[in-house]
Structure 1
Amino acid sequence: MLILTIVGSGKWQFDRLLRAMDEIASETPHKVICQTGFSHYTPKQCEWFTFKPYEQLIAHYREADLVVAHASAGPRIYAVKFGKPIIIMPRDNTLGENLDGHQLEVAAAIKKENYPTQKVIYSADELPAAIEMFACPGIPHKAPDTGLSRLISALRQEIGLQGGN
C-alpha cells in the first residue's frame, strides 16, 4: 500500500504529523511518501519532498492507495476525485501549527458527516489504527463516484486552468 502524506503549502509547519508518519514508515510494510512543505522536520525513514509541480503532485494522488493530510480542502478534493480514502488530521493552533482553529472546525464538521472513506483523527497516536482500517484486505474503501471529479474538471476548463482532470 502506498500512503501519500500532504501538509500543504501554507507557511505553517506540521512536524507532528510528519514525525508520526516517519515513525510509521519505519514500522510498516507500507510505502510512505511525505510532502513536507514549510515544516522543520525532515523525514528519515520515508521518501519526501517539499513541493512539486501540479502535474507531479497529481501523479502521486493517482498512485496512492491512501492519503493522510491536514484538514484543508485540496487534499480532500483530490482524494475524492481519484477515489482514495483519506485520513484527516487537523493542524492545532494551540500547538503553533496554524494561526487559528479553522482546521479543527473543518475536521469536526467532516467527522460529524461520518463518511466511510474519510477518517478524522486528532492525535498521532490514532494514526496506526486508522491506517490499518483502510489497509484491511477484502473491505472496499474506494470513494464512490459522486460526480465531483467531472464538476471540478468542468470548472477548471471554464475558468481556463490547465489540468482539467
Structure 2
Amino acid sequence: MIFVTVGTHEQQFNRLVQKIDELKRDGVIEEKVLIQTGYSTYEPEYCEWSQWIPYPKMLENVNKARIVVTHGGPSSFIMPLQVGKTPIVVPRQAKFDEHVNDHQVKFCNAVAERYGSIFVVENILKLGEAIMGYEDLFKAMPGKQESNNAKFNAELEKIVEEML
C-alpha cells in the first residue's frame, strides 16, 4: 500500500492529490493507495481517500504502507521516520497557493542534505519516478535513519555498566 498525507495545513494541496490519482489511473502505481486529502478540493477517483484521519489510524496506515508520501510539514514526515519508514516528501509551494511561502522547500532540502533520511520531490512530474524507483533510492541513501532512543539507551547502558 502507498499512504499519502497532506497534513492539516488550511490550504489545498491539489497538485499532490491529483498527481497521485493520475499515477494510479495510469497504472504507474498498481498497489492500493490511501490519501488523506485535508483541505484539498480535488477528490480522487482512482484512490481511496479521506479528508481527515485520526492520529491512531494515521499511525496504523504509516506502519502498513510500503511507501509513505507526505507534504513537507515536519510532523507529517517525522512520524514515518519514527517507525522506520523513509518518506517521499513533496514540499508545498507558494506559487501553487499551497502555502504562504516556500519554507517547506528550503526546510525539506536542508533535512535531506544534512541527514539523508527523506526523499524530496519538488517537481511533481518526477513523483512517479520516485515511487517506481523507491527501493533503488533507498539503497542509495547517504544516511540511514537512526533511532535517538536506541542511541540514548546504548549510552545509558554503558554508564550503568561502568558504575557497576
TM-score, normalising length from structure 1? Answer: 0.79
CA 1:55–1:114 in structure 2 vs 1: closer, same or farther (change >3 Å)?
A: closer
Q: Distance in 1 between matches of 2:57 and 2:84?
A: 18
User: Structure 2 counterpart of 1:25, which letter?
Assistant: K
1:106 equivalenced with 2:112 (yes/no): no
> Shift of residue 149 of structure 1?
8.6
Q: Distance in 1 between matches of 2:35 and 2:150?
A: 24
RMSD of the TM alignment (CA)?
2.4
> Shift of residue 55 of structure 1?
1.1
Question: Which residue pairs with 2:11 in the alignment?
Answer: 12
> Shift of residue 104 of structure 1?
1.5
User: Structure 1 counterpart of 2:19, which letter?
Assistant: A
Question: Which residue pairs with 1:157 in the alignment?
Answer: none
Q: Distance in 2 between matches of 1:51 and 1:95?
A: 22
SS of 2:33 mapped into structure 1:
strand
1:22 equivalenced with 2:10 (yes/no): no
Which has more radius of gyration? 2
1:131 equivalenced with 2:124 (yes/no): no
Question: Which residue pairs with 2:121 in the alignment?
Answer: 121
> Shift of residue 110 of structure 1?
2.3
| Residue deviations 1:67-113 (CA, integer Å, cap 9, x gap) | 11111111221111111121111111111111122112112212323
SS of 1:68 mapped into structure 2:
strand
SS of 1:48 mapped into structure 2:
strand
CA 1:94–1:144 in structure 2 vs 1: closer, same or farther (change >3 Å)?
A: closer
Q: Distance in 2 between matches of 1:148 and 1:77?
A: 14
User: Structure 1 counterpart of 2:99, which letter?
Assistant: N
> 126-135 or 44-53: which moved more?
126-135
User: Structure 2 counterpart of 1:80, which letter?
Assistant: L
Q: How does 1:1-165 map to 2 (within 5 A)?
A: 2-26=1-25, 27=27, 28-113=29-114, 115=116, 117-135=117-135, 144-147=145-148
Aligned residues: percent identity?
Answer: 27
CA 1:52–1:76 in structure 2 vs 1: closer, same or farther (change >3 Å)?
A: same
Q: Distance in 1 between matches of 2:149 and 2:129?
A: 28
| Residue deviations 1:108-154 (CA, integer Å, cap 9, x gap) | 21232361x51111111111111122245xx598x644235998xxx
> Is the CA contact (8 Å cut-off) linking 2:17 and 2:35 kept in structure 1?
yes
More helix by share: 2
**Which structure 1 segments of 5+ residues have no match?**
152-165
Q: How many residues align?
A: 147
